[in-house]
Amino acid sequence: MMQLTGAEIVVECLKEQGVDTVFGYPGGTILNVYDALYMHREEITHILTSHEQGAAHAADGYARATGKVGVCLATSGPGATNLVTGIATAYMDSIPVVAITCNVNLPLLGKDSFQEVDIAGVTMPITKHSYIVKDISKLADTIRRAFSIAREKRPGPVLVDITKDVTAGVYEYEKQAPGECESGCKYTDEDIKRAVSLIQEAKKPFIYVGGGAVISGAYKEVRALAGLMDAPVCDTLMGKGVMDGHDERYTGMIGMHGTKTSNLGVSECDLLVALGARFSDRVVGNAAMFASNAKILQIDIDAAEINKNIRTDASVVGDLKEILTLINKELPQMEHKQWNEHIKELKEKFPLNYDESGLSCPYIMEQIDKVTDGKAVIVTDVGQHQMWAAQYFKYSEPRSFLSSGGLGTMGYGLGAVIGAKMGRPERVCINIAGDGCLRMNMNELATAARYQIPIIEVVINNHVLGMVRQWQTLFYGKRYSQTVLNDGVDFCMVAKGLGCEAIRVTRKEEVAQAITRAIELKKPVLIECVIPEDDKVFPMVPAGAPISEVFDATDLEKEA
């Protein structure tokens, strides 16, 4: 047993949990922790981001890419509040992050002291748990519990706020190994039997895969289930890579910008098996008309998600990998030849397509797929480019598509791709951004340059807020209120000014060469791709409409 300062206890607890990388920004109240980190800089790498929000997103990207807990640090007041959007992003997508902040000395709490904010109170609705540590004797156990809560059951972010005098105080410390996480399994044998029975009764089954399948590490079990059920499979934005994008059973994404095959197939099926998916409004459209011909079987680790958005006919609550292992053992090999032929016809009749005459984001994504042999980790910001990245790159494994799904955070991608590259240095890590998103986070290019982190930032520059403009075109009479960004900003000059390499692409034949060059440089590179302002993401389902009313550019031309 050793006598250590509170700050040293924080660092020792991080080492206990296997933390090798943290992202953050120092300040007055957290100085003791940074001093302790300095003494352990050979064991824990600290990445100084340009803004605390970048640190939160980097911790999130690290967690998504590796499956480990991401860690970010910030000082009190504005430092802590700058983490809030990143914490909320992680919360909506069930990403394990521990945010450590420090606050003013205990006697100054509640007195509107300089840079004092009740960050534990602020983040209470957007964390699994938030702590404030005022007693050094509780510090180590609180940090250990924070990591356990972040990882166990349905993962998510946890905040630990520590008063500065606790970090300065001295207390005994004894090393502990991390404990086992609770699985959160609540199912019974009857639940498994009911699930197997429903699957065996179905004539037209469809599997719908969400982010829980990625978190659980259940991709092999999902693929085995699809084979045993002889069923087509669609996914959500968060479920990318669970099914191999090249698999003939895979029908693409479901929902507002899902494929016609997925949306029509789910609308026609007689059993929908939801695996680690929460029936988000962007997936179901009009909830009253969603999969109205089907019985619903939902498997999820969080009992609160059962019957929350869509009524189920049966459910199994627990870890997806564990549950599917049991179901797969009980299921005989099934055959649904006629149903699969119908789905195949839909795929042939309604393929994803785009205008191939000029440079476009779908073409760029196909080239990235080709140049990287589909092995890149793709990160996105939020907007049209996010949907195109989900549609046109064929993800063959989980944790290769990282995106803000639930919160839809513009500015997420650049911090997240830095985190992903720190966690997966052997992979090519590429962020797909819109010009509107880059304006929110371009300061993090300086972070990548400072550490020479070889990330690739592909900017799809259409000089507008593309997704909002698409809605204005289709539903707001082309009144482009505050969505035109055609000004004097030169992203290549900005990138070079912040210490990165930059390449501008304006023609299709330049794309593959630019991507290849960026990979070869082994340093941070921005590739600006200039595309037309009115390119649109199709297919599309209008907000509130049933997903069976999915339409694309061809349908609009027919109406015109």
Note the pLDDT of residue 468. Answer: 96
Catalytic member of 115, 193, 289, 523: 115
CA 23 – CA 286 distance, rounded (Å): 40
Q: Which of 89, 65, 54 is nearest to 498 (CA)?
A: 54
Length of the chain counted residue by residue: 560
Picking from 239-243, 345-349, 485-489, which range would have the lowest pLDDT averaged per residue?
A: 485-489
Q: What percent of the chain has pLDDT over 90?
A: 95
**Is the confidence at residue 524, as pLDDT, over 70?**
yes
Q: Is the pLDDT of residue 509 over 70?
A: yes
pLDDT digit string, tens, across residues 190-212: 999 999 999 999 999 999 999 99
Q: What was the pLDDT predicted at 14?
A: 98
Domains of the chain in start order, with CATH, are 2-173 (3.40.50.970), 189-349 (3.40.50.1220), 361-542 (3.40.50.970)
| pLDDT band at 351; cut points 50, 70, 90 | very high
Average pLDDT over residues 491-515: 98
Which of 92, 256, 422, 467 does the annotation list as catalytic?
467
| Of 435-439, 486-490, 518-522, the least confident | 486-490
Q: Is 115 a catalytic residue?
A: yes
Active-site pick, 128, 164, 260, 321: 164
Per-residue model confidence (pLDDT) at position 184: 66
CA 20-16-219 angle, to 5 degrees, is 65
Structure confidence by residue, pLDDT tens digits, 88-111: 999 999 999 999 999 999 999 899
62: confidence class by pLDDT, cuts 50, 70, 90? very high
Question: What is the reported pLDDT for 558?
Answer: 82
Can you read off the two tokens belonging to residue 495?
């990138």
Whether residue 180 has pLDDT greater than 90: no
pLDDT of residue 349: 97
> Average pLDDT in the 25-34 region?
98
* Helix (H/G/I), strand (E/B), else coil: 479: coil
For residues 508-518, give the mean pLDDT: 98
Q: Is 164 designated active site?
A: yes
> Minimum mean pLDDT among 204-208, 326-330, 427-431, 549-553: which range?
549-553
Taking residues 485-492, what's their average pLDDT? 95
Q: How far apart are CA 209 and CA 201, in angstroms?
A: 20
Q: How confident is the model at residue 554 (pLDDT cuts 50, 70, 90)?
A: confident
Residues 66/34, Cβ–Cβ less than 8 Å: no
CA distances from 448 to 56, 79, 304 (A): 15, 20, 39
59/99 Cα distance (integer angstroms): 9
pTM: 0.97
Task: Please tell me what DSSP assigns to residue 406.
Answer: S
* Strand pairing category for 170-173 and 2-5: antiparallel
Determine whether 136 is exposed, middle or buried from the number of CB atoms within 10 Å of its CB (0-12, 13-18, 19+). buried
Q: Is the pLDDT of residue 230 over 70?
A: yes
pLDDT of 508 above 70: yes
Name beta bridge partners: 272: 206, 296
Cα–Cα distances in angstroms (integers) from residue 379 to residues 112, 183, 274, 416, in the given order: 40, 28, 25, 7
Q: How far apart (Å, rounded) are the C-alpha atoms in residues 145 and 133?
A: 12
**Which residues contact residue 113 at a Cβ distance below 8 angstroms, ignoring those fewer than 6 apart?**
104
Q: Which amino acid is at 178?
A: P
Instruction: Quote the CA–CA distance of 326 and 314 in Å, as a whole number.
Output: 16
pLDDT per residue over 295-316, tens digit each?
999 999 999 999 999 999 999 9
Catalytic residue, chosen from 8, 12, 23, 52, is 52
- Using alpha carbons, select from 181, 180, 179, 167 the residue that is nearest to residue 12: 167
Q: With residue 526 as reference, give the H or E element that holds it.
A: strand 525-530
Report how far residue 63's alpha carbon sits from residue 95's, in angstroms, rounded to the nearest whole number.
Answer: 7
Q: Is 18 left (phi over 0), alpha (psi -120 to 50) or beta?
A: left
Q: What is the pLDDT of residues 114-162, one digit of tens each?
A: 999 999 999 999 999 999 999 999 999 999 999 999 999 999 999 999 9
pLDDT digits (tens, 9 = 90+) for 536-550: 999 999 988 999 999
DSSP 464: B
- Pair 157, 90: CB distance under 8 Å: yes
Is it the case that residue 25 has pLDDT exceeding 80? yes
Count of other CB atoms within 10 angstroms of residue 134: 15
Predicted pLDDT of residue 7:
98
pLDDT band at 186 (very low <50, low <70, confident <90, very high): confident
Active site residue 114: yes
What pLDDT is recorded for position 543? Answer: 86
| Lookup: tokens for 9 | 């206890």
Residue 181's pLDDT band (cuts 50, 70, 90): confident
Residues 64 and 114 sit within 8 Å (Cβ to Cβ) = no
Residues ≥6 apart with Cβ < 8 Å to 48: 24, 25, 26, 447, 450
Segment 510-528 shows an average pLDDT of: 98
Across the range 460-487, mean pLDDT stands at 96
What value does the mean pLDDT take over residues 57-80?
Answer: 98
Per the CB < 8 A criterion, the answer to whether 163 and 105 are in contact is: yes
Say if residues 546 and 287 touch (Cβ distance below 8 Å): no
Q: Which pLDDT band holds residue 559 (cuts at 50, 70, 90)?
A: confident
Which one is catalytic: 39, 43, 114, 186? 114
Digit-coded pLDDT (tens) for 281-299: 999 999 999 999 999 999 9
Hey, what are 28's tokens? 């007055």
> What pLDDT sits at residue 144?
98
Tell me: pLDDT of 185 over 90. Answer: no
Taking a C-beta distance cutoff of 8 angstroms, is the pair 94, 123 a contact?
A: no
Does residue 560 register a pLDDT over 90?
Answer: no
Q: Is 12 helix (H, G, I), strand (E, B) or coil?
A: helix
Task: Please state, in angstroms and rounded to a whole number, the distance separating the CA atoms of residues 521 and 519.
Answer: 6
